[in-house]
Amino acid sequence: MNVYNFYDFYQNRINKKLLDMFNNLPFQNSILLKSMKYGTLIGGKRLRACLVYIVGEMFKVNIITLDAISISIELIHAYSLIHDDLPCIDNDSFRRGNVSCHIKYGESFSILAGDALQSLAFNILSTYIMPGVSDRKRIKIISELSHSIGISGMCIGQTLDLQKDIKKLNVSELEKINLYKTAFLIRSSVRLSYLSSNFFSKRILSLLDRFSICIGLAFQIQDDIFDFQKDINKIKNNQNIYNTYPNLIGIKTSQKKIKILYQEALSILKIFKKKSFIVDKLELLTNFIIQRSK
């Protein structure tokens, strides 16, 4: 089996679902909807959506249910990137190979686009048809996602990230930032699929959490390495970029840490395999995430 066979399938599926969803919204000619579409549809690897589909398949969740979850996760991710790029936060002019949303549409509309994408994600989770998902499960799903992106998740991670300019961090402090800012949304992608299934075990959920955190942290360290290699001079002169894994512990040690996280993720998948769950796609996707070139 080749990772691109199913990755391309899921990527094409979520892109089509996102486009169809946007095309059915009101105010099609408004700058708000245009900026929402731009921030979501232009580029994007859809790794989180792919995780939703693969984990859902592993636990026998209806693909229509997984569509709703994948759309919501991608909308939350898009909102976070639009807001991250704003001049008042990370001040990035480019995203996914294109100019950032605020460069194309202005700061005001980008802020509104992010706000609208976040609310739309929860509207979808609360109203879309999700076969096999009871109202009680739906509430758990909504609760999980809202928890992972707010004061206990992504937003506090972004806050800590903004504050890291004040002092040089240690590795433990940097890992805490990446845990909240990056890994928790990846964990939610996995959790939401599991919570929509007919399985429930605290032991399985705990294993899925460990797996998600491993690939989430490895994903962020890999991104830090890409940024480090892209522009050494910019990193040396920018205190905000100074607090990254390659700068704190070096590229070789960062790569070793990725390997450790990768091996732990695979060891967890072996446990699932022993429990007769089919994890072939998840193994391939894990390898793809860790070994990606960007």
Query: Roughly how many angstroms between the first and final C-alpha of the chain, as a whole number?
Result: 22
CATH number for the domain whose boundaries are 3-291: 1.10.600.10
* pLDDT value of residue 86: 95
* pLDDT value of residue 171: 85
For 207-237, write each residue's pLDDT tens digit. 999 999 999 999 989 888 887 777 665 555 5
Distances (CA, A) of 55 to 112, 211, 226, 236, 277: 32, 12, 28, 40, 10
For 113-132, write each residue's pLDDT tens digit. 999 999 999 999 999 999 99
Rounded mean pLDDT, 89-101: 90
Distances (CA, A) of 241 to 15, 155, 290: 32, 19, 21
Phi then psi dihedrals of residue 99, to 5 deg: -65, 145
**Domain limits, the chain:** 3-291
pLDDT band at 239 (very low <50, low <70, confident <90, very high): very low
Rounded mean pLDDT, 139-147: 97
Rounded mean pLDDT, 24-52: 95
Average pLDDT over the chain, rounded to an integer: 91
Share of the chain above pLDDT 70, in %: 94
Question: How many alpha carbons lie under 13 Å from residue 226 in its C-beta half-sphere?
Answer: 11
21 pLDDT above the threshold of 90: yes
Rounded mean pLDDT, 142-153: 95
For 152-192, write each residue's pLDDT tens digit. 999 999 998 888 766 677 888 889 999 999 999 999 999 99
Rounded mean pLDDT, 240-248: 74
Cβ contact 194:205 at 8 Å: yes
39 pLDDT above the threshold of 90: yes
Q: Write down the pTM of the prediction.
A: 0.92
Q: How far apart are CA 142 and CA 123, in angstroms?
A: 10
